Amino acid sequence: MSETSVRRPDPADAFSSVDEVEHTLARYQYIAEPGLAMAVFLSLKLGKPLLLEGEAGVGKTEIAKVLTAALGAEMIRLQCYEGIDVASAVYEWNYLRQILYLRAAETSLNGTGDTSRERLREVFGPEFLLKRPLLRALDAGAKPVVLLIDEIDRADDEFEAFLLELLSDFQVTIPEIGTIEAARIPAVVITSNRTREIHDALKRRCIYHWIDYPSVEKERRIVDARVPELPGQLADEVVRFVQSLRSQDLYKLPGVAETLDWARALVALGQRDLDERVVVDTLGCLLKYQEDLKALEGEPLKRLVQSARSG
């Protein structure tokens, strides 16, 4: 049986130690420092959500993907956005199917238009329920689930408040049906880019960890793990260049995701080392704002390339 097909019985029993978490993540090409491995271990062991904050592109969402593979689980993802509500996140009724059912019921009563109360109650049964990500995660049965609530900082305060009960008791109440409790507590990963502060009430229900930009050594290990085909010298130059880029006064600094995108682009171009021309032509892999691209034109970019090549 392959490593990715192993099914573990329960997320809480998946790992026996923090070291095992760290080594398992590394097998799936995720390089985690001990602090993050500890947060993952405690989150699973205690059945509490893992709240990860940090700049975009530092590997927050990737944790959920790697855990899904390591646990042999199903990943259910809720992408947050401004205005997200219960109908989008938890459930809503299949109104079209309800209407068709009632019309069919009316026809079966010889067109009298007398739709019984029993029929009306039936249309608010489980078979007419459209399960959205949060309800699917609770109602997944025996199969392990990793629930990713991505970019919670994009949602509004009202939705964040709604999550409090769900993340405390892992249950949700549907007035027409009753309370649905999780048969198995899912592994929950919540991410935030910190565009706004998350309320203390939500943080108290979570194991918290901040993911920062990686050190030179860690980023080099990440590049080796994720883009092994990148030549060693070029990998050194790529990491040094990106690290220097993050020291510049830019609107949006590149994350690890951008480093990996750039490394893959250089592999596709058959590069063996950095030169100013290829950096200019591929800088859009790292920087996503015209103001940042303009700020590096000419001498600033030349200095960064020279520094990366000289080590």
β-pairing, 187-192 vs 50-53, is parallel
Phi, psi of 71 (to 5 degrees): -90, -5
The reply to whether 48 and 196 lie within a common domain is yes
Which helix (H) or strand (E) covers residue 27, if one does? Answer: helix 18-27
Tokens of 207: 């194991």
Whether residue 100 is contained in a domain is answered as yes
**Of the candidates 190, 210, 230, which is a domain's last residue?**
210
Which pLDDT band holds residue 27 (cuts at 50, 70, 90)? very high
Q: What is the model's pLDDT at position 183? A: 82
The reply to whether 271 and 200 lie within a common domain is no
Q: What is the model's pLDDT at position 167? A: 86
Which pLDDT band holds residue 20 (cuts at 50, 70, 90)? very high
DSSP 112-129: -----HHHHHHTTSGGGE
The least confident of 115-124, 147-156, 222-231, 299-308 is 115-124
Each residue of 267-306: b (16+ CB within 10 Å) or e? eeeebeebeeeebbebbebbbeeeebbeebeeeebeebbe
The reply to whether 154 and 121 lie within a common domain is no
Based on the structure, what is the number of domains in the chain? 3
The reply to whether 255 and 107 lie within a common domain is no
Question: How far from 184 is each of 11, 202, 296, CA to CA, in Å?
Answer: 9, 21, 52
The reply to whether 59 and 147 lie within a common domain is yes
Could you read off the pLDDT of 155-192 as tens digits, one per residue? 998 899 889 888 888 888 888 888 888 888 899 999 99
Which pLDDT band holds residue 2 (cuts at 50, 70, 90)? very low
The reply to whether 170 and 282 lie within a common domain is no
Rounded Cα–Cα distance for residues 171 and 202 (Å): 16
The reply to whether 118 and 70 lie within a common domain is no
Could you read off the pLDDT of 289-301 as tens digits, one per residue? 999 999 999 999 9
The reply to whether 230 and 287 lie within a common domain is yes
Instruction: Map tokens 């592999």 to a residue.
Output: 267
Q: Can you give the residue range of the structural domain that contains 110?
A: 91-127
Average pLDDT over residues 25-40: 95
Whether residue 133 is contained in a domain is answered as no
Rounded Cα–Cα distance for residues 130 and 93 (Å): 6
Could you read off the pLDDT of 244-276 as tens digits, one per residue? 999 999 999 999 999 999 999 999 999 999 999
Which pLDDT band holds residue 5 (cuts at 50, 70, 90)? very low
The reply to whether 286 and 169 lie within a common domain is no
* 115 pLDDT more than 60: no
